[in-house]
């Protein structure tokens, strides 16, 4: 598979290493300094693009890929106000677009566990839900895309919760998310239910970027030859060689 990397920071370099270990060729490494190099790539030069850039660059990168007919896997967060437009463009161009807020298999199992727990807690309003997410100091957006996905899973199951807020202080109709930026932490997410008598807590801790990068490469392998808008639920619903 001929892979184009859009974004060549720490995550892009980890994706490159894993893609090469799995036998793929990297045909381009694009960041803010050499974006003009995209023009040198023809439609058949790229089998799949993997987009891990920045909130400021993601939308333009995705539009470019869809115009060129390149299947694109995106893991950038902070641009999602335009997600519906990108998905519409994908369908109109008969393209292939895969988005996930987190590509780690473990995190996606955690998403499912989060929804199950929230469904149980619906019958126990004395417990108050809150979340904490911790990432490295270079992460630009807050809360993380993973935290937003977790919050949306809770909102989907708890009728009293209508929205999330990036604040510590709780509000009756909202899921509060505390965002901390510390050192080189790859990602830690905690969902907490607290009452006067006890607390219930589930937690996912990433030890490195390896799990995220592997999931993105597997998603790109899976996406080639498909048309439509996809996510991790689609990938995990089929057999994937991880």
Catalytic residues: 135, 139
- The C-alpha angle with vertex 97 and arms to 94 and 103, in degrees rounded to 5, equals 160
Question: Is 33 known as a binding-site position?
Answer: no
Residue 146 among known ligand-binding residues: yes
- Residues 215 and 221: their CA atoms lie apart, in Å, by 10
| Cβ neighbours of residue 102 closer than 8 Å, sequence gap 6 or more | 75, 108, 111, 145, 146, 149, 187, 212, 215, 232
Query: Is 103 annotated for ligand binding?
Result: yes
Strands 25-30 and 174-181: unpaired
Residue whose C-alpha is closest to residue 109's, from 232, 239, 242: 232
- Residue holding tokens 């009756």? 172
Ligand-binding annotation for 77, yes or no, is yes
Separation between Cα atoms, residue 102 and residue 108, nearest integer Å: 7
Q: Yes or no: say if 176 and 154 are a contact pair by the CB < 8 Å rule.
A: no
Task: Give the DSSP H or E segment for 72.
Answer: strand 72-74
Q: Which residues are annotated as a binding site for NAD(+)?
A: 75-77, 100-103
Q: Which residues are annotated as a binding site?
A: 35, 75-77, 100-103, 136, 145-146
Q: Which residues are annotated as a binding site for (S)-2,3,4,5-tetrahydrodipicolinate?
A: 136, 145-146
């Amino acid at each position: 598979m001929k892979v184009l990397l859009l974004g060549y920071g720490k995550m892009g370099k980890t994706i490159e290493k894993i893609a090469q270990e799995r036998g793929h060729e990297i045909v381009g490494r694009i960041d803010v300094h050499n974006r003009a190099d995209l023009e040198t790539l023809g439609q058949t030069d790229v089998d799949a693009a993997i987009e891990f850039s920045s909130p400021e660059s993601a939308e333009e990168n995705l539009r470019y890929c869809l115009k060129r007919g390149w299947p694109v896997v995106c893991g950038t967060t902070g641009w999602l106000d335009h997600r519906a437009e990108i998905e519409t463009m994908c369908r109109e161009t008969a393209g292939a677009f895969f988005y996930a807020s987190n590509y780690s298999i473990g995190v996606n199992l955690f998403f499912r566990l989060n929804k199950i727990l929230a469904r149980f807690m619906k019958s126990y309003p004395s417990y108050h839900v809150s979340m904490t997410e911790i990432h490295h100091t270079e992460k630009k957006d807050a809360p993380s895309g993973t935290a937003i996905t977790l919050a949306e899973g809770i909102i989907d199951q708890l009728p009293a919760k209508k929205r999330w807020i990036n604040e510590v202080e709780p509000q009756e109709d909202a899921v509060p998310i505390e965002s901390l930026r510390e050192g080189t932490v790859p990602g830690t997410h905690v969902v907490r239910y607290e009452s006067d008598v006890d607390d219930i807590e589930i937690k996912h801790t990433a030890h490195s970027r390896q799990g995220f990068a592997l999931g993105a490469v597997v998603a790109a392998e899976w996406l080639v030859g498909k048309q439509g808008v996809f996510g991790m639920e689609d990938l995990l619903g089929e057999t994937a060689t991880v």
